[in-house]
Each structure stands twice: as structure tokens, then as C-alpha cells.
Amino acid sequence: MADCKYKFTDKVNTVELTGFFPEGKEQLLKLSTKQLKGVSPFGVQGGVITEEDLTDELAEWLMARKSAPTEAYPEGEFLYKNAIELKAKSK
Amino acid sequence: MAITLTAGTFTASGKTYEPILTELLFSNKTLNEDLVTLADDIKSTTEITEVSATVTMQAYTSGAPTSQGGQTSVGTVITPVKLMYYNEFDPETLRFSRYGRDMKKGAWNLNLGEFETVVLDLYNRKISQDVEAKFWNNALAATKVSVAAGANTTAEKAYVAGITAGLFDGLITRIIWNGGAVGGRINVVGTTISATNILTEYGKLYAAIPAVVLQNTEEKVRIYAPYSHLQFINQYNVNPANFTKPFVVTKLGEPGQTVFFQGIEVVFVPMAENQMLAALPSHLMWATDLASDISMMKIDFIANNRQDMFVKHIFTIFAHVMLQSTNVLYL
């Protein structure tokens, strides 16, 4: 999204999806592999949120997303705290 | 060409280990175990009708009575989407591998034999698995745009945004976005689930199920959950700190295994992680022309003057959700 003020950092991994994806104009599904840089808050089965999908709302939701509680982090850990930054932020 | 053959150092006089180790695949559980309602014989446009009624008790009068209460019948027209899988391959490639052994003598003969029974069978099952996964998780490009701009919860928007645009809307997408508007589902705000918090999160889902649905004696509500929850449930149950067992697992690892939570059966389907659905199976519909289409493949020569071949599947599918106000989506 062009108007999103956030972007992914370099720490975001590339996820490989293998499956049957639509191809061409016909209702055709072709077995192929896609390399997508992004995050999967719902596991690979739920696909990958790429930078193109990011909106301010989604980015802020991702930044607030926590892991399940563990002994070390009873409140959960922020899953994507290093994954998203403001576009204006200088390196 | 579609065959990727890594034949090792095979020679015609050499030996091969007879079994071929194929990928481990689930069969299509959603259809095989009737986890949702299969509506086949839907060739094209078909109306699905939902009926509801309200009744109002009123004081007796010997005079003119007042009409109260009512009946509502809502028709939704659905049209299963026609899809195909198509793949071409060249049996000539197989001549130099173990699959060449059962080809008949003669340069003309490139019959498939073992390749057909093992490799193409695996391909067939993989398609069945892919269709099942897409029945649960899929979204049209147009629906992705609508949900992104709509009034859904941010978690629902995140889920739909992540899905690669497909050729029909999957069931969860239909629950989220239905009839050009936010779906009428009961929403429970979800979080990341593990063995640590699975009891708490199932408790949230359970509490949101309408009491009348739980009391339904004609049909039992089910909890639909991702595969990983079976592991979380078992890990939860074996933790000695959890001395009560709210998850009742019987015949674990055996045919006929069942999992119940507070008296509700939990069934595991290829849903995405960190989401669950509580619904009556009759509210979730897999509409198609013929259920067996998914497992039927056609293999033939591409043309009469050629010896390369194709494998093709054709089927129709539509995921439909009914009586949305009683379906609870944890997401």
C-alpha cells in the first residue's frame, strides 16, 4: 500500500509457499512455488502478509501481536517487534 | 516439462528398492468424514434457502386477534466455480529410470505402469488435499480488496490479506465477508495459541456459542480447529499441573480417535493457525457438481500425433455458510 507509513525491516524472512496457484486468464491452477517476503501470523496455511498488503491498521495490529505465554514471558512476547518500522526512519 | 526426475545411478540391469516412498499426505478429511455438509448435484445456479421464525405469546382475546411473530425465508443463489488442474509430461523422460522397466518391448511403447500407479496417484491425492485446503482458506482478489476496505476486525483483515488470491472464496473468508458485507458471525478476538493457553482460548470460544445452539438436540455443534491443536491438546493433557482434563481424548492415535471439549467434538481440518470455528455442520456447505470429480483424473496423449501426455482434473466447488448469526469464529 503506497499510503502506509510502515514498511518491513531487513529482518523479515522470505517464506516459501508451495501449492497450486492460479495462472493465466483461465480457471487454471498450476503447481508452483512462490517466494514471498513477509510474515505469517496465521501460519503458512494462512499465507503471507507482504509489504504490499500493509496498511497502517495491519502494521499496528502486527506490532501488537504477541506469542502465546511462556514461563519466561507470561504475557507473551511481541512477535514482530523487529519486523516493522516507520518508512521515514533512517538506517 | 512437468516431470522432474532425479533417477540416481539407475541402470536397466540394476536393482531398485521396490516400494516408492511417497510424500505423507492426509486424504480429504473434510469430505471423507462428513465434517461439513456436502451438497452435490449442484450443476449451476441454485438457490439455498435459510428459514427462521419468531413466535410471540399474547394474551387471549375473544375479539379480533393481533398477528404477531413471523417467518423469514432467505434465499441465496450460489453457483459453484468450475476449476481445473492441468499438467503435461513426457513418458520418454521415464524410459531412463526405474519406470522404464515395465514399459513393453518396442520403441513405440511408453506405457506408464508403476509411474501411473504411484506417482500420478500421489499427484491425484495432492490435488484432493489442495482442494480441501482451499475450501477452508482461499479468497478472490475482489474479496481481498473488499475486506481490506470494509468494517471487519483487523485480525480478519490480516487473515484475508495474507491469503494468495485464488479462484473462489474459502469457507472462513465467506464467514468473514458474505453477500457484499461483513459476515454476520459471532466474533471472538483471538491470540496466538499454544499448549500453554489452549484451555483459556477454547474457553472463550465455548462461552460465545449461543446457548440454544448448545442445546440443539437434532444436531451437535462442532469445534473446527487447525491440525496443530491436536498436539497442543495432548501436550496440555499430559502436563501434570493440569490435573483436570477438560479435553477428553479417546482412542488416541487409533482409528476412531475423538476429541471433546466441554462435550463438544473438536475436529481437525486444514484451517490456518490461531483460528477456530464453532458451528453446526449443517451450516457449513461444500457445494459441488459431483463429489468424486475431485479424485477423478484423465490421462491421455496430448494429440494423436504426439506421445507426450497430459493429466487433467475438472471439478466445481463453492463454500457456503448458512445461519451466520449462530456461527462463532475465533480469529
Q: What is the DSSP string of A8-61?
A: E-TTPPEEEEEEEEEETTTTEEEEEEEEEEEE-TTTGGG--EEGGG--HHHHHH
pLDDT at B331 over 60: yes
Retrieve residue B175's grid coordinates. 464467514
Lowest mean pLDDT among B76-85, B104-113, B127-136, B183-192: B104-113
| Helix, coil or strand: residue B154 | helix
Confidence bin at A18 (pLDDT 50/70/90) = confident
Distance, CA of B216 to CA of A70 (rounded, Å)? 38
Q: Using an 8 Å CB-CB cutoff, list chain B residues near A17.
A: 164
| pTM value > 0.90 | no
Q: Using an 8 Å CB-CB cutoff, list chain A residues near B126.
A: 31
Lowest mean pLDDT among B151-160, B223-232, B266-275, B311-320: B311-320
The pLDDT value given to residue B309: 84
Identity of the residue in A17, A27, A46 whose CB atom sits nearest the CB atom of B273: A46
Distance, CA of A62 to CA of A49 (rounded, Å)? 10
Distance, CA of B262 to CA of B200 (rounded, Å)? 13
The pLDDT value given to residue B314: 86
**B17, exposed or middle or buried, with CB in 10 Å at 0-12, 13-18, 19+?**
exposed
Q: Using an 8 Å CB-CB cutoff, list chain B residues near A31.
A: 85, 87, 126
Confidence bin at B22 (pLDDT 50/70/90) = very low
- Put simply, the answer to whether B193 touches A68 (Cβ < 8 Å) is yes
Within its chain, how far is the Cα of B115 from the centroid? Answer: 28
pLDDT at B11 over 90: no
Retrieve residue B320's grid coordinates. 457456503
pLDDT at B10 over 80: no
Judged by a CB distance cut-off of 8 A, whether residue A18 touches chain B is no
pLDDT at B43 over 60: yes
Distance, CA of B327 to CA of B330 (rounded, Å)? 10
Residue of A nearest to B228 (CA): A43
| Helix, coil or strand: residue B292 | helix
Distance, CA of B81 to CA of B288 (rounded, Å)? 8
Residue of A nearest to B133 (CA): A45
pLDDT digits (tens, 9 = 90+) for B113-137: 667 766 677 777 788 888 899 999 9
User: Whole-number mean pLDDT of chain B?
Assistant: 85
B225-250 burial by CB neighbour count: b if 16+ within 10 A, else e?
Answer: bbebbbebbbebbeeeeeeeebbebe
| Residue B124 CA: distances (Å) to CA of B84, B87, B130, B240, B312 | 12, 11, 10, 44, 10
The alpha carbon torsion through B3, B128, A19, B273 (nearest 10 deg) reads -150
Judged by a CB distance cut-off of 8 A, whether residue A56 touches chain B is no
Confidence bin at A61 (pLDDT 50/70/90) = very high
Mean pLDDT of B9-26: 50
The pLDDT value given to residue B206: 97
- Amino acid at residue number B83: L
The pLDDT value given to residue B312: 85
Confidence bin at B280 (pLDDT 50/70/90) = very high
pLDDT at A80 over 60: yes
Judged by a CB distance cut-off of 8 A, whether residue B248 touches chain A is no
pLDDT at B169 over 80: yes
